[in-house]
Each structure stands twice: as C-alpha cells, then as structure tokens.
Structure 1
Amino acid sequence: MKKAPALIILAFVAFVGISSSLFVVNEAEQAIVTQFGKPVGDVKGPGLHVKIPVIQEVKRFEKRIMKWDSDPNQIPTKDKRFIWVDTTARWRIVDPLLFYKTVATEIGAQSRLDDIIDSVVRDAVSGRLLAELVRGSDYQSPRGPGEKEVFEIEGEVVSESELVGREEILDSLLGKARASTPEYGIELIDVQIKRINYVDQVLTRVYERMINERNQVAAEYRSEGEGEKAEILGKMERELKQINSEAYRLALEIRGKADAEAAGIYATAYSRDKEFYSFLRTLESYKKVIGKNGRLVIGTDSPFYKYLQDVK
C-alpha cells in the first residue's frame, strides 16, 4: 500500500515527460526545434514529432502564402511625373531554419521585404515613363492609322513603339526582388502595383488640363453646331425665298389671267352698248372721286360733267 503513491507519482512524471516530448504540426504549419535558443533541426511535414523535454522548444511558422503591403511612396518617373505608388506582394517561408536564423519572425521578414521591394519598385518606377506604368502590353492607341504618340525626355524623342507594357515592368521587378529573398528562407511569389496616382500638386494641374481639353472639345462641338445651324438657316432662307418667289409668280399669273378675263368682259360689254358702258364707268368714277361730304370742282365743258349736265 505504501508503494501506491510512489507509483502514481512516477506514472504522473512519466506522463508529463512523454507529453512534453511530443508535439503536433498541422498542415498549415512548419516548425523548427531549438535547444537553449539555438536551432537544431526543422520539421516541415505535418504530424506527431518528438523533442527533448525542457531543454528543447518548438518554433512554429506559417506554411501558407502570406501578404505584404507597403505604404504608398512618392516616386518621380523618368519623365519627371511625381506619383504615389502603392505596392503589394505575396510570399511564403520555404526554409524555416534559415528563416529563423536570418529574420527570426514574420515581423522581421516584413521589415526586410520593405527594404527589398521598396528599393526595387523605386528603381523600376524612376527608370520608366508614366505611360509605361499605366499601359498594358495590349494597349491600342485611339489615334488614327499612321498617327503615333511621341514622348520627349530632356530633348530626346521616344517613340511609342519603344515603350514597354506594365506587365514587362512587373516581371522585371519581380525577378530583381526575388533574387534577394532566398538568403532569408523566403520565396517571393508575386509583386503587383495596386494603385498609381498623381501627387496633389500634379493632380490639380492634371484636372485643370483635363478641364481645358474638355472645354476645347466642347468649343469644337459648339463651333460645328453653329456651322450646321448657319447651314440649316441658310438652306431654310433659300427655300423660303424660293417659295415666296414661286408664290409671287403664281399670284402674278393668276392676277394676269384675272385681269385678262376682266378686260375681256369689259370689252364684250363695251362692244354691246358703248354709251351705256361709258355711263356706268362714269358713275363708278363719280363714286370714287366724290366721297362723303366731298366737293368736286370742274368746268362745265369737262367731259366728266357730261352726264351731270344732262340731268334735269
């Protein structure tokens, strides 16, 4: 009976020793074993593993792909355009032992990537035109056939055909940055530029230039509209004059025909009874000449007085 507590204590110590000597690494992790703070081995595969209790410890690291983001940097391009460049990258730990020896933690790795990628991005941006940074390799110019955009840098003319696309710049950038990461046990998978924008001073000038360009386009449209308006009004005025002329001609023809018919009627009436016709015409003349409360002064020998003289 006295041996029972001792056995229990011994079993408990054995259990603690065995449990402290075992550790599990899951599929998303990789680990290294350190002894008194110095790495003595790495564990890349998932599963159950053994270490020496108390004197050995396990350092775990991510096996999955991780993301790196930089703060936006103000960088001048080759054509002296100051822009904000916001960059991102994806990376992973491929050698945990070397990773622990060189940068120790993910925070240390992020800091080292800051130095590597920011330097490479700054060199890439400052050595290229802004047009190259924003255009893809499949960019098609909106200009007509035979018209090419020409860039001038410090008196040197650069043709549009000499420019490279954004994809080529990023591939070159990734290659240069990737060459510096294996020494830290890191694999750099991808580097991308998330956003490019002008700095505030340049952005204001760009907006002003865009407004001026839009105003020029609007002025061209207004000028074309005024020209079409003048053409339409001129055409309308010509058609109106033509209509008026045609109406005036028809009116003259109708009036001429009417006058001819009236003259024919007058001639027929005159040929039937000349004296009666003369009498009617004279009465019409009296009516037109002598108005209401009017007076007519004529000589007694005037032919116009003939029928008044005969009245008794």
Structure 2
Amino acid sequence: MSTTIRTALLAALAVVVVILLSATFIVEQRQQALVLRFGAVRKVANTPGLYFKVPLVENVLYLDRRVLDLDLPAQEVIASDQKRLVVDAFARYRILDPLLFFQTVNSIVGANNRLGSIVSSTVRSVLGDATFANVVRTDREALMRQIKERVNVAARGIGVEIVDVRLRRVDLPEQNSQAVFQRMQTERQREATDLRAQGNQQAQGIRARADRDVTGIVAEATRRADELRGAGEAEKNRVLAEAFGRDQDFFGFYRSMQAYEAGMKPGDTRMVLSPNSEFFRYFKRPSGRPGEDNGAGAAPPANAAAGTPDAAPRP
C-alpha cells in the first residue's frame, strides 16, 4: 500500500472520529440537557448517560439539576401595625422542567431575575399583613412557609420548584433601632434600680435581725459569764474561808506575802508608810502577832536607855 493511500485512510479515519465525537454528548448525574436545532428544542435529556445528536446542526444546552441559590437584596417592609422593617431574605430552588425553563427564562440569570421579583413582592405582601411581633418572635416560621407556598405557585410557571425561603434578618431601620434600644435600656435600668432597692430593703431587714440576735446572744453570754464569775468568786471565798479556818496564822502570812509582792514591785513604785505600820508586821514579828519580838532580845526600858536620874548609882 502506497504512502498516499495510507495517508488518505488515516485522514478519513480522523474525520470519522471527529464526526462521531461531535455526534455524541454525555449528561452527568448533576446535569440535564436540551438538544437545540437552530434554536428550537429537539430533545430533553433528563437522565445521566450517553446521547447522540446531529453534528454541526444541533448543539447541547446543559442545565444544573442541583439546588440553586437566590440571594435577595435587603428591602424595607411596612408591617400591619405600621412598623418599618428591614428584611433580608434568600431562596433555594431547582429546575424541574428544563423545556419550560428554557422557553420562559432561557437561563439561570433570567430565572434569578424573575424569581427575585416574585420573592420580593411575596415577602412584602405576606409580612405586610403581619404585625412586628409576629414577624420577629411568634409566627416567623409560619410566615416563611406561607411565603414559600405562594412563591412556588408562581415559580412553577417558569419550570422551577422553590425548595426553601428564609428570612435571614428582620430588623428595624437604624433610627428606629436606636430609639428601641434606648427605651429597652431605660426599662432595664429601672428594673435594676427596683431590684437594688428591694435588695437593700431585704439587706437592712437581715442586718437588723442579725443585730438583734447578736444583742440577745451577747446579753445571754454576759449573764452566763456573770453567773460563772459569781460562782467562781463564791467558790474562791469558800476555799479561802476554809483555809483561814484551818490555819489563821499561815493564811495571814500568805496574804501578807502576796501584798508585799504586789506592793513592792521593782521600778517606779513609791510607798510612804510609817515603820510601825501593821503592813510590815512580819518584818518585825515572824508570827505577825502583836507583843512578840523579832528574836534579837527584848528592847531595854526607855528610862534606862535615856539615862534618867532614877537609874544613876547612889553614892
């Protein structure tokens, strides 16, 4: 086989391969496709697999089977109680009818524009019939379900299904938010003041009861201490009286020694007493009894010590 023939066969094979490749297309699991012939839909491919088309005459438009996002700009809504609300919503949808979708909106961008206007008008309509408290607190979930149902009725006309509609944020306008915040702050401060006043009142009552209990306890303890001190003093006096009765001389000596120790402490103690004072009787008389000497012999008579004439010798 000559080189020219071989080259021609390879070229023909390449052309056949190119024609076969351009005549087939693959639809993946997350896709669905429309086969268009000169702009008109000839076939809808809803299931994954390998499909054929006429090369150079038909082309394929792929559409997403997954859930698509639709983010809406924040808008201002007036509730039924004339409260202004700033609402930020979003939606999730999927394409159910590719043919109707292509005939009505043609593309994802067109679908987002159409659905955006539908969702915005429905949000204004539903929230306009509700009060501020219903939107913010009590009926928010029910209102979102109602919005979803109404949007779905209109969305099926363009071949899509609304999976979910959510209110991301529902707030008052900035100027209203500041006024509400200040009012709430004032109410909380008033409640805090009332709670502090009640706490101070209870604290004063508790403190008064505690002071009264302390006074009673101290009085009872003082009375008990006085009783114990009186009983101790009585016992002390009894013991001292018993000791005095057993040995009066020793008792007197012991008490005098205690008095000497307490009265003649070293330091700045000053005592002015007569040498003949009974306080010093044990220095002169060991027994402390009057009429006894200190053991050094009796003192000479006064007239002898003075050398009176009666004591002079006779011639």
TM-score category of the 2 structures, normalised to the smaller one: 0.5 to 0.7
User: After superposition, where does 1:22-37 map in structure 2 within 5 Å?
Assistant: 22-37=24-39
- The residue type equivalent to 1:69 in the other structure is D
- Cα offset, 1:251, TM superposition: 11
In structure 2, how many angstroms separate the alpha carbons of the residues matched to 1:203 and 1:71? 20
What letter matches 2:12 in structure 1? L
- Counterparts of 1:201-240 in structure 2, within 5 Å, are 201-236=175-210, 238-239=212-213
1:75 to 53, 74, 77: 77
For each residue in 1:247-298, what CA deviation from the matched residue of structure 2 results, as whole angstroms up to 9, or x when unmatched?
Answer: 99999999xxx9xxxxxxxxxxxxxxxxxxxxxxxxxxxxxxxxxxxxxxxx
Residue 17 of structure 1 corresponds to which residue in structure 2? 19
Structure 2, gaps ≥5 residues long = 234-315
Larger Rg: 2
Report the Cα distance in structure 1 between the residues aligned to 2:167 and 2:221, rounded to whole angstroms: 75
Report which structure shows greater RCO (CA 8 Å, sep ≥6).
1
Once residues 209 and 180 of structure 2 are traced to their aligned partners in structure 1, the CA distance between those partners, rounded to angstroms, is: 43
Corresponding position: 1:61 with 2:63: yes
How many residue pairs were aligned?
231
What residue number does 2:156 align with?
182
**Residue matched to 1:84:** 86
Q: Which amino acid aligns with 1:108?
A: G
1:245 offset after TM fit, Å?
Answer: 7.8
Q: Quick one: distance in 1 between partners of 2:24 and 2:212?
A: 104
Runs of at least 5 residues in structure 1 that lack an aligned partner in the other structure: 137-164, 259-312
1:276 maps to what in 2? none
Q: Name the aligned partner's letter for residue 213 of structure 1.
A: E
% identical equivalent positions: 30
- Counterparts of 2:48 and 2:227, CA distance in 1: 112
User: Cα gap change, 1:225/1:16 in structure 2, threshold over 3 Å: closer, same or farther?
Assistant: same
Q: Check 1:232–1:42 CA distance in 2 against 1; reply closer, same or farther (3 A cut).
A: same
2:128 aligned with 1:126, yes or no?
A: yes
Name the SS for the 1:135 alignment partner. helix
Residue number in structure 2 paired with 1:193:
167
Report the CA distance between 1:9 and its aligned residue.
2.4
Secondary structure of 2:154 counterpart:
coil
Query: Partners in 1 of 2:226 and 2:15 — Cα distance?
Result: 134
The residue that corresponds to 1:303 in the other structure is none
Measured after TM superposition, the shift of residue 134 of structure 1 is 2.6
Q: CA deviation at 1:74?
A: 1.8
Given the two structures, how large is their TM-score scaled by the length of structure 2?
A: 0.65
Following superposition, the deviation at residue 202 of structure 1 comes to 1.2
- What is the CA distance between 1:45 and its match in structure 2? 1.1
Q: TM-score, normalized by length of structure 1? A: 0.66
Report the alpha carbon displacement of residue 120 of structure 1 after superposing the two structures with TM.
0.5
Distance in 1, matches of 2:225 and 2:35, equals 116
In the alignment, residue 199 of structure 1 is paired with which amino acid?
P
- Please list, as runs of the form range in 1=range in 2, the aligned pairs for 1:1-312 lying within 5 A after superposition: 1=2, 2-136=4-138, 165-236=139-210, 238-239=212-213
